[in-house]
Amino acid sequence: MKLKRTKTCGELRASDIGSEVVLAGWVQTRRDHGGIIFIDLRDREGVTQIAFSEDTSKDAHRLAESVRTEYVLAVRGKVFARPEGTVNPNLATGEVEVYIQELEILNTSKTPPFPMEDDAETAEALRLKYRYMDLRRPSLQKVLMTRHRMTRTVRSFLDSKGFVDVETPMLTKSTPEGARDYLVPSRVNMGKFYALPQSPQLFKQILMVAGFDRYYQITKCFRDEDLRADRQPEFTQIDIEMSFIDEEDIISLMEPMLAALFKEIKGIDLPLPFPRMCYDEAVGRYGVDKPDTRFGLELVDLSDTVRGCGFQVFKGALESGGIVKGLNAKGMATLSRKDLDELIERAKVYGAKGLAWMKVTANGPESSITKFFTADDLSNIAKALSAEVGDLLLFSADKPGIVNETLGHLRLELAGRLNLIDDTKFNFLWVVNFPQFEWNEDEKRFQAMHHPFTSPKIEDMDKLETEPAKVHARAFDIVLNGSEIGGGSIRIHRSDVQARMFKALGISDDEAKDRFGFLLEALEYGAPPHGGIAFGLDRLTMILTGASSIRDVIAFPKTQKATCLMTDAPSDVDKKQLRELHIKLDVVK
């Protein structure tokens, strides 16, 4: 490379007119006007229009005739003001152009598999296969540059608060509790396996035992689970742990960190402190423990209102210990029967057997179920739901979990249809006072709602063995616009309490020693009270950049089948490698 770059393609302004510059980048477009050739030259900083004129340099003009899209060029030329009427206000460099005296073609390019423009529609599978081309698009580069600024801001903030960045192992012990581990066979230790960490949880607690006091890490984590638009098999956490603190200390430190992040990325001053809501209230009003509070459409418990009515669906649900809840879809009484059938099918996705409804008209409620209610019943229902003419009332009756999840998800769907969501708002919410346990219907046992290292509330300790369903956790989640972006807790710092916690989860002493013996022993050597929190960096980046998929905020993501289309991973390995690992496959192809 003879020509050494002196400016980027997004740097030139009117103040540079008359100067000589050397630019380098990729050819975005090429326009041949005969005696003059125009090229839009692009690098990560922007685009500059360069011109090749026979009058300026015949050699450069002749060479430019062979240039095609995505060729890599280095050029030397003089900066001129664009002629009147040709200024491009959409470009930061739109006031100038560079007339080229010397051109060096650094590399040629095959015809790109898809256009590099941001507004070009391209199948995601094709984009992921040619990810190196996809990443040349300015929108994706902007997202990843934003992600860089986010991590830089977080590091700077935590550094200023006395936190130490410590790396924890990627090859560790398999301690599955929830999602599946990714296992890595050991060649040296025959027949044994490492696991890739689902979280640095145990190591960061041990760092507190070791006296590091304040730790953080921006780290990769791995979970072998079914994927969705906002999940990946490998993801990144902002991981934090502190000693000698309580819940208030963590929350009061994390709020200004998030405020600094939003100030840097969005230029927004977040109002502090963030509001808080108990878990029971969140689920009661919104159906989920991560409510989107940018709009209303709250759920209403109608169990007492409809108790004693003649509608067998409601009656049967209440008699079997279930609940009845309603949701007022304001102004949606105009929905067709086909639209209502689609809502009913959506409800079934979340485990509901169906979805009852009434349309509020000038003549009163209309539905096939109104005949099962007295006039007083209908009046009380309408009053409880603040119903007005034109509203659509939706009802779910079942076990509390099914009812809440069904109406909680339908609430979000209806808000989208009604255009109730203000995309310019950022509503933060701390959800607190979580249950310590949740019942696993499949395994017929209690499991930790957060993780087994979360401390129960001190006043509930005596209920661990006798009334686990009534135990509350010293746990808290931070929710933003209906997405959980972080979760934390005060940890168990005494080995006897940790042993009781394992017992409450049905984990025997031998199993606890085998899986977590190193932690239990560490807690016996003067572990301080400690706690922490972890933020999902990928999900937070999605919200801050407005990306619709988590794959758009990760440089090299996996598909929903956990594959990399660019490298074709996962792939077969050589039989010799398997023999060295003493692994024999029984997969039938």
DSSP, residue by residue, 56-119: T-HHHHHHHTT--TT-EEEEEEEEEEPPTT---TTSTTTTEEEEEEEEEEEE--PPPSS--STT
The answer to whether the beta carbons of residues 93 and 53 sit under 8 Å apart is no
Residue with tokens 């689902």: 198
pLDDT score of 259: 98
**In the chain, where are the structural domains located?**
14-107, 127-268+529-559, 295-417, 423-527
Helix (H) / strand (E) element for 505: namely: none
**So what CATH class is 295-417?**
alpha beta
pTM of the model: 0.91
pLDDT one-digit tens code per residue, 3-52: 999 999 999 999 999 999 999 999 999 999 888 999 999 999 999 999 99
Q: What is the mean pLDDT of residues 332-336?
A: 91
Q: Return the amino acid letter for 483.
A: S
pLDDT tens for each residue of 368-387: 999 999 999 999 999 999 99
Kindly give the interhelix angle for 201-209 and 509-522, rounded to the nearest 10 degrees: 40
Q: What would the two tokens of residue 465 be?
A: 């063995």
- pLDDT, one tens digit per residue, over 246-263 is 999 999 999 999 999 999
The CATH number given to 14-107 is 2.40.50.140
Q: What is the mean pLDDT of residues 141-150?
A: 97
Is residue 379 classed as helix, strand or coil in its secondary structure? helix
- 182-185/193-196 β-pairing: antiparallel
Fold annotation for 127-268+529-559: BirA Bifunctional Protein; domain 2 (3.30.930)
Helices and strands in the chain: count of H runs, count of E runs: 16, 22
What does the alpha-carbon distance between residue 167 and residue 163 come to, in Å, rounded to a whole number? 13
The CATH number of the structural domain formed by 423-527 is 3.30.930.10
144-to-118, 135, 198, 234, 283 alpha-carbon distances in Å: 15, 9, 24, 17, 35
- SS3 of 391-429: CEEEEEEECHHHHHHHHHHHHHHHHHHCCCCCCCCCCEE
The token pair that represents 1 in the structure block: 């490379």
Comparing 14-107 with 423-527, is the CATH topology the same?
A: no
